[in-house]
Amino acid sequence: MSVSIWGVGTSHFGKQPGETLVGLASRAVHEALADAGVDEVDAVFVGTVFGAPGVAPRVLHALGVTRVPIVSIENACASGTSAYHEAHSAVALGRYERVLALGFEQMTALFDGAIHPEASDAEGRMGMALPSLYAMSAARYLEVFGTRREQLALVSVKNRRHAAGNPRAQYRKPCSLEEVLASRMIADPLTLLQCCPIADGAAAAVLGPARGRPGEVRVRASSHRSGALWDHRSPHVWGFEIARDTARAAYEGAGIGPEDLDVLELHDAFTIGEIVTSEALGLAQEGRGGELLESGHTTLGGRQPVNPSGGLLSRGHPLGATGLAQLAEIVWQLRGAAGARQVEGARLGLVETMGGGVSGIDGNACVVTVLER
């Protein structure tokens, strides 16, 4: 069955300690339901990482969503897109008709800086915070490919410029290359402004069979997998292979190649993530992501804008909400409703989210989906 996204919605993204999860989710869900033109849904898939036991039905009953199956999914940074992927599968298989995918996270209640490494994980127990994992990818990448620190930092400059047009982003003020490089070192060579900020937020989408109504965005393909073993045998930096392989499956399912895409939202939790992922998705050869960025190819106004929303680096990263916020951005882009950050004439878009934190594999989960107007 051909599946469409009927509607999307998000809360504001940012540090909102005065907000409740119900308040954040309410904005996302009610906007998505109104956008889809439905009052009820038949099932809900929820993505959240740090949510307390029972958090999904606790939030949903307060929004009037009761007496339907609710399934919660934890897949690190890809939790929201994993919920979306399951919603898509459920509709495609004819299991349910109107399915809500919802992601939320309230991170300011838990952390005032980097997420604490997980003590039950071998590397987490050793003090391996996520910035250091990406920092080691960056250090290796810079050494092997001769990429410059300025090229890494340019990711933040570009995405911050994009975010100026996104009223729901946490950081909308432009920043200069000098500011990015001079900001506090977090884990060498990644400085503060090359790391996404924590945030509170929620995002949602309603999926159903394609009805051919205006505003619907068709799902051409959705692909999801966990990482392969990542060890001394891999010549690639952490996270490259899972994104490459998940994207290949999505391209095959959609019958397209990377050159066909008009706009992309991809996982830029750290600057190096956008560079490596742009290569894994096939926009550039391995080692050439920095040049692609410098050429303006991925900037608004370029051939294939990446992260027109400002990305995780500007919007902030409430883990469970992120994937569905990326999805909402691509839906708005394909409808021509993205305002100041609109990619002119965008017809075909892609969302990629990847989550990590388990040592020994090159990612807990990656989701890639291709959407079409």
Binding of residue 52 to another protein (CB under 8 A)? no
Binding of residue 255 to another protein (CB under 8 A)? no
We find the least distance from the C-beta atom of residue 24 to another protein, in angstroms, to be 22
We find the least distance from the C-beta atom of residue 136 to another protein, in angstroms, to be 4
Asked whether 321 and 80 are in contact (CB, 8 A), the reply is yes
Structural element, H or E, at residue 17? none
Q: Give the separation between CA 10 and CA 212, rounded to whole angstroms.
A: 24
Asked whether 248 and 284 are in contact (CB, 8 A), the reply is no
**What is the footprint of another protein within residues 334-363 (CB under 8 A)?**
359-360
What tokens does 149 get?
Answer: 């620190």
Binding of residue 109 to another protein (CB under 8 A)? no
Contacts of 98 (CB under 8 A, 6+ apart): 6, 36, 38, 40, 41, 42, 206, 207, 208
- Mask 165-204, x = binds another protein (CB under 8 A)? -------------------xxxxxx---------------
Among 26, 137, 166, 342, binds another protein (CB under 8 A): 137
Among 28, 70, 101, 135, binds another protein (CB under 8 A): 135
Q: DSSP per residue over 168-207, as a string?
A: T-S--S---HHHHHHSPEEETTEEGGGBPPP-EEEEEEEE
Binding of residue 41 to another protein (CB under 8 A)? no
Q: Known catalytic residue: 77?
A: yes
Q: Which is nearer to another protein, 18 or 235 (CB)?
A: 235
Contacts of 54 (CB under 8 A, 6+ apart): none
Residue with the two structure tokens 């001394």: 232
Q: Which is nearer to another protein, 34 or 111 (CB)?
A: 111
Task: Report the phi/psi class of residue 169: left, alpha or beta, with left for phi > 0 and alpha for psi in -120 to 50.
Answer: beta
Binding of residue 53 to another protein (CB under 8 A)? no
Extended strands (E) in 214-363: 217-225, 263-265, 348-355
What tokens does 246 get?
Answer: 């998940």
Dmax (CA) for the chain in angstroms is 57
Among 51, 103, 131, 310, binds another protein (CB under 8 A): 131
Among 21, 55, 128, 275, binds another protein (CB under 8 A): 128
Catalytic residue among 77, 175, 195, 366: 77
Cα dihedral: 42, 9, 60, 368 (round 10): 70
We find the least distance from the C-beta atom of residue 39 to another protein, in angstroms, to be 39
Q: Which is nearer to another protein, 118 or 291 (CB)?
A: 118
- Could you tell me the end-to-end alpha-carbon distance of the chain, in angstroms, rounded to an integer? 17
Among 122, 182, 337, 340, binds another protein (CB under 8 A): 122
Among 61, 95, 116, 211, binds another protein (CB under 8 A): 116
Q: Give the binding-site size for another protein (rule: CB under 8 A).
A: 36
Burial of 284 (0-12, 13-18, 19+ CB in 10 A): buried
Binding of residue 117 to another protein (CB under 8 A)? yes
We find the least distance from the C-beta atom of residue 184 to another protein, in angstroms, to be 8
Binding of residue 271 to another protein (CB under 8 A)? no
Q: Which of 372, 328, 325 is nearest to 14 (CA)?
A: 325
We find the least distance from the C-beta atom of residue 75 to another protein, in angstroms, to be 17
The residues that touch another protein, with contacts defined as CB under 8 A, are 113-114, 116-123, 125-129, 131-132, 135-137, 139-140, 143-144, 184-189, 229, 231-232, 237, 359-360
Active site residues: 77, 317
